[in-house]
Chains A and B, each alone.
Chain A
Amino acid sequence: MPLDSDQLLHAYRQMKTIRLFEERLHDEIKTGEIGGFTHLYAGQEAVAVGICMQLTTEDKIVSTHRGHGHCIAKGCDVIGMMKEIYGRAGGLCKGRAGSMHIADLDVGMLGANGIVGGGAPQAVGAALAARIDGKGRVGVAFSGDGACNQGTTFEAMNLAVVTKAPAIFVFENNHYSEHTGDAYAVGTADDIASRAEAFGMRAWRADGCDFFSTYDAFAELLEHVRGGNGPAAIELDTERYFGHFEGDPQRYRGKGELDRIRAERDCLTAFREKVRMEGSVTHAALDQVDEDVAALIDDAVAQARADAEPDPANVADDVYADYF
């Protein structure tokens, strides 16, 4: 069923929010106010949004170190996220997580993860839990082309197959794990999905820089998994616009590579082009979204900067549910 104009506007708004959130962070990090590691998701927005907008709050996702996009697409509060990344008391995780560990259990976002490959088994657990609950919910693991080489990912895929868990493995192939290319590090570089097939599940392949390609493929996949057919996987061919982390000199990039992917592989441009051709949403409406989102991000940064740092007296709170 084709998306109606509200759904299209929602998708565009989400992708634009991720893009501006990340571009703004790229600038703000230079001020020195944000510490630690920040891995930006810009370039991959169509994946997070094309997938998460088809999930309900009760479906669970587990994310990666590059988690801002997954968070926003799953419905995390953008202002709470910004405060978290700034290490503020009002952050989604009270300033304990920072960029790398943001989570919001209330919206089914089980956490960004600092351990590459740490998430995939947890998605299987979420899927097994969902099956017991019997409401047709799923567990989704986002993994990169780097994470697809971890033993945990292999074990998770096999566990999901043998238990027929409603688990979904999303492989975002942006062609790099840090400074190493997938052509070197992944034995099946041009086809990560084939690994999932080898474990015994169906796999889909789509263009992760094209919202519609991602959306349509995932819609089929989701029907398959919600239909009780066990786990499935999808590989998305996508691009990362910034460095691995902020501050990465990116010496591994080819000449003109960044300009080319920005010019030719931009999910937002492609989206605008497609809806213009189809006449499904007016460009005026999209421009309005652009304005609204820019204001939201300005507000998020202003609120984050104004928020207090966490009280050091609370450093050892929340380690346990109860202890003594």
Chain B
Amino acid sequence: MAIMNIREAIVATLHAEMERDPDILLLGEDVVGGNGTAGGPEAIGGIWGTSPGLWAKFGPERVIDTPISESAIIGAAAGAALSGKRPVAELMFADFVGVSLDQIWNQMAKFRYMFGGKARCPAVVRLVYGAGMQTAAQHSQSVYAMLTAMPGLKVVLPTTPADAKGLLTEALRGDDPVMFFEHKTLYGVKGEVPDGDHRQRFGEARVVREGGDATIVACGRMVNFSEKAADKLAVDGIGVDLLDLRTTSPLDEDAILESVEQTGRLIVVDESPPRCSLAADIAAMVTERAFTSLKAPPAMVTAPHSPVPFARSLERAWVPSPQKIEDAVRRVLAFPGRSGQ
């Protein structure tokens, strides 16, 4: 076991996997940095610091700086994947999925199915997402729900360094296109990372804690916020089951249902607007499959139905907070409340 943060876990995994598998290549904007400048290549190693040393070790055929051309980046990854390689394509901000959407949505997601199961498209798209740094409406979005909705894509959101390693390794060894979401505020999160080969199977939620009174389901940064809420609730003797989904496609329905069958209360926390969201998806699934276990309506803690604002006061109001999660748990536990009893 080594202690490292999520950024370091990603860098180490890319190094190890590229070493192991010569078919892996990396492409994106400034993943090397400094090309075509007096300072020379490898000036930066990715603006998030997630690819240093790769260009020096694996060379310009496998570590490719691209012009600002997201359609071409993702499209090239799709084509390379169909041609037997394992491209890792980086979108500096997940929001730029908008620029490249056709290549994800109509192309890589559908090859295998359209081509009668004969095509393999093992492309990993790394998307840096999330609010919390005042990066405003076009650099803060959590677009995982929309990609989760698309058949053919797997969607992964690590929240710990161990999972960053395990899930990225799994993505690089599988044969499907994987949308690998990295929350921009979580890169510095530290933790133990298993040495050697470490794969984390997709579709297996992480049980962050077990408390039995209510079930909180979350992903990404909302897992950390839910832990903070759970700490506060614990002071009052309220224990929650907290599930970190790890992957939203495939979704670990069993883990969610098993917990809700015990607690009878569900709170889903989702860093995105509520409509057609992951929260809505899970609340619907539980309502349909575990209706008789529910002692209260599922609660969704989400952002409002608006873009992400810039100002600090507004961004704080937009992001679901530990306080809002705590309040939601208390509300669900109080149901049906005085008027209903």
Tell me the A residues contacting B by CB distance below 8 Å. 35-37, 87-89, 91, 95-98, 100-101, 113-118, 146-147, 149-152, 176-186, 189, 251-255, 257, 309-316, 319
Contacts and interface: CB of A to CB of B under 8 A. Distances in A.
B43 to A, nearest CB: 4
A146 B67 contact: yes
Contact of B35 (A115, A150, A181, A313): A181
B305 A114 contact: no
Interface string B303-314: 011110111111
Nearest to A245: B47
A179 B43 contact: yes
A257 B312 contact: no
Nearest to A91: B311
Contacts of B69: 149-151
B311 A319 contact: no
Interface of B is mostly: loop
Nearest to A34: B134
A121 to B, nearest CB: 12
A253 B38 contact: yes
B39 interface: yes
A310 B311 contact: yes
List 10 A-B pairs, minimum CB-CB distance, nearest first. Answer: A184-B36, A254-B38, A181-B36, A35-B134, A98-B310, A114-B138, A312-B317, A95-B311, A87-B311, A149-B67
B58 to A, nearest CB: 18
Contacts of B146: none
Contacts of B143: none
Interface of A is mostly: loop
A36 B136 contact: yes
Nearest to B317: A312
B39 A315 contact: no
Given A95-B311, A97-B136, 14 more contacts: A87-B311, A95-B309, A96-B310, A98-B134, A100-B135, A100-B310, A114-B136, A115-B98, A177-B29, A180-B37, A252-B40, A253-B38, A253-B39, A319-B305
A315 B305 contact: no
Contacts of A310: 309, 311, 313-314
B314 A315 contact: yes
Nearest to A97: B310
A2 B58 CA distance: 58
Contact of B310 (A87, A177, A189): A87
Contacts of B137: 96-97, 101, 114
Contacts of B36: 180-185, 189
Contacts of B306: 315-316, 319
Interface in B1-52: 29-30, 33-40, 43-44, 47
A185 B67 contact: yes
B200 interface: no
A134 to B, nearest CB: 34
Nearest to A184: B36
A98 B134 CA distance: 8
Contacts of B35: 180-181, 184-185
A124 to B, nearest CB: 17
Contacts of A97: 136-137, 310
B68 A185 contact: yes
B133 interface: yes
B316 interface: yes
B285 interface: no
Interface residues of B, number: 45
A150 B134 contact: no
Given A149-B69, A176-B37, A180-B35, A312 B313 contact: yes
12 contacts: A36-B310, A87-B134, A95-B311, A100-B136, A101-B136, A114-B137, A116-B68, A117-B68, A178-B29, A310-B313, A319-B305, A319-B306
Nearest to B92: A178
A183 B39 CA distance: 13
Contacts of B304: 315-316
A35 B135 CA distance: 8
A50 to B, nearest CB: 25
Contacts of A180: 29-30, 33-37, 65, 67
B218 to A, nearest CB: 21
Contacts of A114: 95, 136-139
Given A35-B312, A251-B34, A254-B38, A101 B67 contact: no
B291 interface: no
B38 A115 contact: no
A136 B228 CA distance: 60
Contacts of B98: 115
Nearest to A180: B35
B105 interface: no
A151 B314 CA distance: 33
B233 interface: no
A36 B134 CA distance: 4
Contacts of B305: 316, 319
Nearest to A318: B306
Given A253-B38, A312-B316, A149 B68 contact: yes
A36 B33 contact: no
A251 B38 CA distance: 9
B103 to A, nearest CB: 11
Contacts of B311: 87-89, 91, 95-96, 98, 309-310
Contacts of B134: 35-36, 87, 98
A315 to B, nearest CB: 4
A96 B30 contact: no
Interface string B288-307: 00000000000000001111
B105 to A, nearest CB: 16
A268 B136 CA distance: 33
B99 interface: yes
A128 to B, nearest CB: 22
Contacts of A91: 311
B313 A177 contact: no
Interface centre among B29, B37, B38 (most CB of A within 10 A): B37
